[in-house]
Amino acid sequence: MRRMEALPPWPYPLWIAHRGAGKLAPENTLAAFRVGLALGYQMAECDVTLSGDGVPFLLHDARLERTTNGFGLARLQPWSAMAQLNAGRWHGTEFATEPLPTLAALAGLARETGLMLNLELKPGPEDDARCGRIAATEAQRLWASIETPPPLLSSFSIEALAAARDHAPALPRALLLERVSDGWRDAARELGAVAVVIEHRAVDAEVVLQALESGLRVLCYTVNGEAEARRLEDAGVDGLITDAIDRLGPQALP
Ligand code: G3P
Ligand code: CA
């Protein structure tokens, strides 16, 4: 109760579908987000990066091979080429026509369905500030006319989040952390972050309390076990990012 009084309102749900639908559909595709919605999820995490000509789109890896029928580094290819790729067939023939989505296409789905988003900014090497600026500016523009809460921008890159803060101040930010180490709260505060997203094994009630003292919410990635989810809920976290959307979440764990 103390936490809710100390922090500004939080518009996002507890459960967040990782890369859309985790393992049930091809990650970071519109099909994946639709599967999550059908299972009762109201929010999804996804990975945003830039094409060679600066178009923000969804892809986790730096390279195209694992999740598309393309080859090579995505950051070296123009969007016009990647728009032709298939991003679903690797997961199953029922997804054989699934394209790589642009951030604009994702915004269209959010407008249509009310889906809330956590957009993880994934810059290429030496491209942190440019990726943060372009992706955040585009997200702010796209979501300005969408009635759902704004997308939560997160990143491991402090530089990308600083650019997001400077160029898209209306969008909330969260610093991604693999572990809790010296200065984590100072770094988040300097970014004007509303939250930290921490690897789940590094989170306990003491970490949540320390975050609260700095005005920060705590989200955890990637939580796929029920006992671990309950431990983190008891510790007071505000968000659980999961792959296990058929086993955990709004329907399975009330
Ligand atoms: O948002 C946290 C989590 O998604 C980071 O890991 O590799 O799945 O992007 P990764
Ligand atoms: Ca991610």
52 within domain boundaries: yes
Ligand 1 cavity residues, CB under 6 Å: 18, 45, 47, 60, 120, 154, 176, 197, 221-222, 241
Q: Output the pLDDT for position 5.
A: 46
Taking the whole predicted model, whether its pTM rises above 0.90 is answered as yes
251 within domain boundaries: no
* Catalytic residue positions, numbered: 18, 60
ipTM > 0.95 (yes/no): yes
Q: Which residues pair with 195 in a beta bridge?
A: 174, 217
CA distances in angstroms from 162 to 61, 140, 152, 202, listed in the order given: 22, 15, 14, 24
**Protein residue with least CA distance to atom 2, ligand 1:** 221
State the pLDDT confidence band at 253, using cuts at 50, 70 and 90: low
Instruction: Give Cβ neighbours of residue 181 (< 8 Å, ≥ 6 apart).
Output: none
**Protein residue with least CA distance to atom 3, ligand 1:** 221
C-alpha of residue 122 to centroid of ligand 2, in Å? 8
C-alpha of residue 28 to centroid of ligand 1, in Å? 12
Instruction: Give Cβ neighbours of residue 217 (< 8 Å, ≥ 6 apart).
Output: 7, 10, 174, 194, 195, 196, 211, 238, 239
> What percentage of the chain exceeds 90 in pLDDT?
93
Count of domains observed in the chain:
1
Ligand 1, residues 60, 119, 177: which to mutate, most atoms within 8 A of Cβ? 60
The CATH code of the domain that includes 47 is 3.20.20.190
248 within domain boundaries: no
CA distances in angstroms from 33 to 190, 233, 239, listed in the order given: 32, 24, 18
Q: Which residues pair with 73 in a beta bridge?
A: 63
Instruction: State yes or no: pLDDT of 48 exceeds 90.
Output: yes
State the pLDDT confidence band at 155, using cuts at 50, 70 and 90: very high
Quote the domain boundaries for residue 59: 2-242
252 within domain boundaries: no
150 within domain boundaries: yes
147 within domain boundaries: yes
